[in-house]
Amino acid sequence: MNIQKLPVRRWWYLMPVIFITYSLAYLDRANYGFAAAAGIEHDLGITKGTASLIGALFFLGYFFFQVPGAIYAVKRSVRKMIFCSLILWGFCAAATGFVSNIPTLMVLRFTLGIVEAAVMPAMLIYISNWFTKSERSRANTFLILGNPVTVLWMSIVSGYLIQAWGWREMFMIEGLPAVIWAVCWWVLVRDKPSEATWLSAQEKQTLQQAMDSEQSDIKPVRNYGEALRSRNVIMLCAVHALWSIGVYGFMMWMPSILKNAAQMDIVSVGWLAAAPYLAAICLMLTVSWLSDKFQNRKLFVWPLLLIAAVAFFGSWMLGNHAFWLSYALLVIAAACMYAPYGPFFALIPELLPRNVSGVSIGLINSFGALGAFLGAWLVGYLNGLTGGPGVSYSFMAISLLASVVLMYNVRAGNKTSATPLTTGNVAG
C-alpha cells in the first residue's frame, strides 16, 4: 500500500496563528467576569439581575450571526472575515473601558458578540480545509486550547491589572492586541492550500487528494436545508447548547463565586480561577490524541460530560463547608467540560459532505452560543437571587446530563475508506 506523507510544516506554520487568533477572541469575551468581580456593577449602579443579563448579551449577538458568518466563510473568504473581525472586536473590547452608563455597556457587549460570531465556525472551516480526518481532533483542540489557555493567563494578568489600575484600564489594555494581530493575520494566512506559497506543488496535490478521498463514502446532501434538518445536526445543536450552559456559566461567574465563597482579594481569585484551565489544557491534549488514534469521537465526548455533571453535583453538596474539596471538584468539572471539544467538532465533517459541513458547524455553534447566553445569564441571576452558587451548580449539572443523553444517541456511523497517509509525530 502506498503511504504518502502529508506536509508536517502545516502544523508549525498554521497552528500558532490559529491558536493566537482564537485566544484573543476569548480574552475579549471572558474578561467581563473579572470586571464584575472587581466592582463594575457598583461603579455603574448595576443590579444583580441586570449584571447577569449584561454578561450574557455577548452570546445573544453571537447566536444570531453564526450561520451568516459561516456562509460567508464557505463561499467567500475566512481570511477577510477574520481580519475585519479582529479589528472590530479589539476596538469594541477596548471601548468597554470608557463606558459611563448601562445602555452603552449593553450595546458594546451585544456588538462584541456580533463581530466575534464568525470566528469559531470560520476557524473550524479553515481547519477542515487544511487537516485530514486522522488529524482533525488534534487540530481542533489546538484551536480550542485558546479558550482555557487564555483564561489561565488572563485570570492572573487581569487580577494584577485591576489591582494596579482598575477594571477600565484592564479592558483598554486587553482590547488592543486584537487590532495589532489583525495585520499579522493578513500577512500570514491564505484560505486554501492551493494558495499557499510555502507548500510545493506535490505537497498541495497530496493534501488535496487526501481531502477528496475522505468525502468519497459520505452520503451526498443536496442543500443547506436538507443538512440543517437532519437528525444528527439537530441533536448536535441541542448537545452543544446544553453543554455550553455549563461551560459559560462556569467561566463567566467563577471569579465572583470564588471571591464570595472564600472572601479573598482579586489577585488570589485570579490564581485560583486559573487552576481549572490548567487541568483542562492537559486533559484536552490527551483526549484529542486518543480520539484521533481510536477514531471514536463519541467515546471521548459523553463520558467526560457525565463526569463534569457529577462533579458539579458533588461541589454543590459540599458547599462552603469544605471549600477546598468543593473547589477540587470544580477543577475536575472544568477539565471534563473542555476536553471533548476537539473530538466533538471533528465529528461534524465526518457526518456531512463538505458542501454543507461548514454551515452545519455554524448552526451547531450558534446553538452553543444560545446555551452560553442562558448559562451566563441564568447562572449569574440564580447566584444573585439565592445568595450562593448551589442552585446554579445544579442547573449546570442537569444541563450537562441532558447533553450526555443526547450525545450518546447521535448516530456516528459514517466511515471513509481513504488511503492511509501519515503526518509524522506532530501535535500529538
Which pLDDT band holds residue 182 (cuts at 50, 70, 90)?
very high
Q: Is the pLDDT of residue 65 over 50?
A: yes
**Out of 114-123, 150-159, 235-244, 396-405, which region has the weakest mean confidence (pLDDT)?**
150-159
Contact present, 350 and 412 (Cβ < 8 Å): yes
Task: Write down the pLDDT at residue 316.
Answer: 77
Q: Is the pLDDT of residue 252 over 80?
A: no
The span from the CA of 337 to the CA of 330, in Å, is 10
Between 83 and 353, the more confident residue is 83
Average pLDDT over residues 417-423: 37
**Out of 244-248, 251-255, 293-297, 316-320, which region has the weakest mean confidence (pLDDT)?**
251-255
Between 321 and 178, the more confident residue is 178
Task: Write down the pLDDT at residue 91.
Answer: 93
Helix H, strand E, coil C: the string for 231-283 is: HHHHHHHHHHHHHHHHHHHHHHHHHHHHHHHHCCCHHHHHHHHHHHHHHHHHH
The DSSP output letter for 195 is: G
The span from the CA of 212 to the CA of 198, in Å, is 21
Per-residue pLDDT tens for 190-199? Answer: 988 888 888 8
Q: Is the pLDDT of residue 2 over 50?
A: no
Task: Write down the pLDDT at residue 211.
Answer: 79
Q: Is the pLDDT of residue 84 over 90?
A: yes
**Out of 20-24, 69-73, 128-132, 418-422, which region has the weakest mean confidence (pLDDT)?**
418-422
Contact present, 85 and 178 (Cβ < 8 Å): no
Share of the chain above pLDDT 90, in %: 21
Task: Write down the pLDDT at residue 243.
Answer: 94
Task: Write down the pLDDT at residue 104.
Answer: 92
Could you tell me which of 96, 135, 92 has the C-alpha nearest to residue 113?
92
Which pairs from 220-224 meet CB under 8 Å and 24+ separation? 220/353, 221/352, 221/353, 221/355, 221/356, 223/356, 224/356, 224/359
**Out of 202-211, 270-279, 341-350, 391-400, which region has the weakest mean confidence (pLDDT)?**
270-279
Per-residue pLDDT tens for 271-297? Answer: 787 788 888 889 989 998 898 888 888
Contact present, 233 and 352 (Cβ < 8 Å): yes
Task: Write down the pLDDT at residue 217.
Answer: 60
Average pLDDT over residues 10-39: 84
Task: Write down the pLDDT at residue 267.
Answer: 72
Which pLDDT band holds residue 426 (cuts at 50, 70, 90)?
very low
Q: Is the pLDDT of residue 86 over 90?
A: yes
Q: Is the pLDDT of residue 260 over 50?
A: yes
User: How many Cβ atoms are within 10 Å of 3's Cβ, its own excluded?
Assistant: 8
Q: What is the pTM of this model?
A: 0.74
Could you tell me which of 237, 252, 254 has the C-alpha nearest to residue 109?
252
Q: Is the pLDDT of residue 54 over 90?
A: no
| Residues forming a β-bridge with 4 | 421
Contact present, 386 and 48 (Cβ < 8 Å): no
DSSP character string of 63-83: HHTHHHHHHHHHHT-HHHHHH
Task: Write down the pLDDT at residue 422.
Answer: 39
Please provide the average confidence, as pLDDT, over all residues in the chain. Answer: 81
Q: Cell triple for residue 406?
A: 443526547
Between 351 and 337, the more confident residue is 337
Which pLDDT band holds residue 161 (cuts at 50, 70, 90)?
confident
Average pLDDT over residues 110-127: 87
